[in-house]
Amino acid sequence: MDIIILSIIVVIFLLINGYVGYVAWRRTKNADDYLVAGRKTHPFIMALSYGATFISTAAIVGFGGVAANYGMGILWLVFLNIFVGIFIAFVFFGKRTRKMGHNLGALTFPEFLSKRFNSRFIQYFSGAVIFIGMPLYASAVLIGMARFVETSLQIDYNIALVVMAVIVAVYVIFGGIKGVMYTDALQGSIMFFGMIFLMVAIYWILGGVTDANQALTNLVNIVPANATAVATATGFTGWTSMPALESPFWWTLVSSLILGVGIGVLSQPQLVVRFMTVRSNKELNRGVLIGGLFIFVITFGAYVVGSLSNVYFFQTTGQTAVQAAGGNLDKVIPTFITAAMPLWFTYLFMVTLLSAAMSTLSAQFHVQGTALGRDIYETIRRKTGGSSVRVARIGILVAVLIALVMGYILPASIVAVGTSLWFGITAAAFLSIYTAALYWRRATKEGAIAGVVSGSVVSLLWLLLGFKKSAEALGISQALVGQSTIITTAPWPTVDPLVIALPVAVVVTIIVSYLTKPPEKEFLDRCFEGVDGGKGK
């Protein structure tokens, strides 16, 4: 490692980010600026910020490692990332959220839901779900970056965790959402070109697109010798094909990794709030192409590189990528870059990953801080003004500390799993009432409360008792019923909480809404003013 070159690259990167954050701080004058960037964000800034927040080290490192384990089947997630995460999110959710959020004067996602259903409970309950649950996702992003630094640069993992968290916390605390979005745009641009280079490089190393993909297909029987029977039993069919339908491999890939992130993106509070930062629907229309191209390059590149790394490691070491990484999926991409790429690229790609981590972490810490300051403290105490911003900044510090602690205690191969679980939790808790808020006038306050509570509770219970990855580690089901999960019959232990909890939340929201008094027409007309027509401002 050339410490001089590395230091120069990192210092330049941090100075540029520091300057951008300083500019944002100078332009942050009030709570509107701090929480929704004054609702005047340029579409290029908004789209890149959305994409860079959505796609982090969790996608590049975590899901890149998952691709090395599951193969090209993970590419279905690219389709959902673009079709659901960009097109549906911007066109069908974003436009209505922007206008309705303006009508309601909402500054955060929980506040949007609260004002739409006229329920303070929804605001502080949703804020609590975000503040308590999001550290799982934040820690996964931190871990992804720290693992790369540890593997590629031989820097202590613990030091990497602390330094990363401190850097992000500083500019989020002072810059607010403007600081987050401005730096997101810069970091997203770096991520875009870094991933293009990496994808081109692996195909060049492996002899071109056709030869590389054929070589991966030919590895159909290359699995660890002592795990052939297990692979067959769990549904593994090859690196370029989907697992056997309804097998444990299939359920994990589809229900947790593909559906969890592919659908859960619609209810991510740190993404929803970006729709409220633009002036009109025209900005959202322009953002679709920018965001779609960005998401395609980053996710497709990460998943292809992860899958093809099996070819590289088998040709050079006789091992699969996961074996070469010591069994830790989170180390596959760092191990490949260290082994296959020149040192200068390792340094530059570190900046790419640093950008990915910082863009997502900044949004996560910001939304956790505002959840504590605006959605919990201000709602319960019924106080408004500068005090909520101060509490939000305290909340950011607390969120950073929680993410750090979890970064130390979470197990290996957690980055993609932690990300998927968080996306699934938000979908179960928020997606039914968020969709109802935008499209169903008959939805009632009582129905929304029942939906958000039932989705959250069922998701939590399945995580604790039914989903093997989490239930087995926690041991609660073992203590209660003498087995790792309450249902051991396949495929239930591998079924993601999203698959159980989201339908429950939808059904409960509908039933309770029909059993309770409809909202007043005047209130609904105020909420939906200019929304149903879908025109301009």
The per-residue pLDDT for range 49-105, each reduced to its tens digit, is 788 778 777 788 889 999 998 899 999 999 999 999 999 999 999 999 989 998 998
Q: What is the average pLDDT across 156-166?
A: 84
Spatial contact of 83 and 384, defined as CB atoms under 8 Å apart: no
Write down the domain spans for the chain.
23-421
pLDDT for the residue 388: 63
Spatial contact of 69 and 323, defined as CB atoms under 8 Å apart: no
Question: How confident is the model over 475-521, as pLDDT tens digits?
Answer: 889 899 899 899 998 889 988 899 999 999 999 999 999 999 999 99
Q: Quick one: which of 207, 231, 211, 206 has its CA closest to 221?
A: 231
Q: Quick one: which of 179, 41, 127 has its CA closest to 392?
A: 127
Q: List the CATH code of the domain at 23-421.
A: 1.20.1730.10
pLDDT for the residue 226: 38
71: left (phi over 0), alpha (psi -120 to 50) or beta: left
Residues 410 and 157: their CA atoms lie apart, in Å, by: 13
Residue 414 structure tokens: 């957690």
pLDDT for the residue 443: 97
Spatial contact of 45 and 185, defined as CB atoms under 8 Å apart: yes
Question: How confident is the model over 100-125, as pLDDT tens digits?
Answer: 998 998 888 999 999 999 999 999 99
As a whole number of Å, the CA-based R_g of the chain is 23
- Using CA atoms of 47, 50, 54, 59 in order, give the dihedral in degrees to the nearest 10: 40
Tokens 């390792």, residue located: 346
Spatial contact of 299 and 77, defined as CB atoms under 8 Å apart: yes
Which secondary structure element, helix H or strand E, spans residue 202, and what is its range? helix 157-205
Residues 1 and 145: their CA atoms lie apart, in Å, by: 18
Question: How confident is the model over 313-340, as pLDDT tens digits?
Answer: 999 999 999 999 988 888 999 999 989 9
Residues 242 and 249: their CA atoms lie apart, in Å, by: 9
> What share of the chain in percent tops pLDDT 70?
87
Question: How confident is the model over 414-442, as pLDDT tens digits?
Answer: 888 888 889 999 999 999 999 999 999 99
Burial of 517 (0-12, 13-18, 19+ CB in 10 A): exposed
Q: Which residue has the higher pLDDT, 231 or 368?
A: 368
Question: How confident is the model over 432-483, as pLDDT tens digits?
Answer: 999 999 999 999 999 999 999 999 999 999 999 999 888 888 788 989 989 9
Instruction: Using alpha carbons, list the distances in angstroms from residue 236 to 80, 140, 196, 412, 496.
Output: 22, 26, 29, 22, 19
Residues 62 and 59: their CA atoms lie apart, in Å, by: 5
Residues 424 and 325: their CA atoms lie apart, in Å, by: 28
Transcribe 7-34 into DSSP letters.
HHHHHHHHHHHHHHHHHHHHT--SHHHH
Neighbours of 532 (CB within 10 A): 11
DSSP 534: -
Residues 287 and 379: their CA atoms lie apart, in Å, by: 33
Neighbours of 220 (CB within 10 A): 14
Contacts for 59 with CB less than 8 Å, ≥ 6 apart: 298, 299, 302, 356, 419
Spatial contact of 140 and 425, defined as CB atoms under 8 Å apart: no
Residues 128 and 146: their CA atoms lie apart, in Å, by: 28
Angle at 130 between CA 40 and CA 376, to 5 degrees: 80
Model's pTM, two decimal places? 0.86
Q: Give me the amino acid identity at 171.
A: Y
Residues 54 and 424: their CA atoms lie apart, in Å, by: 14
Q: Which residue has the higher pLDDT, 391 or 30?
A: 391
pLDDT for the residue 179: 60
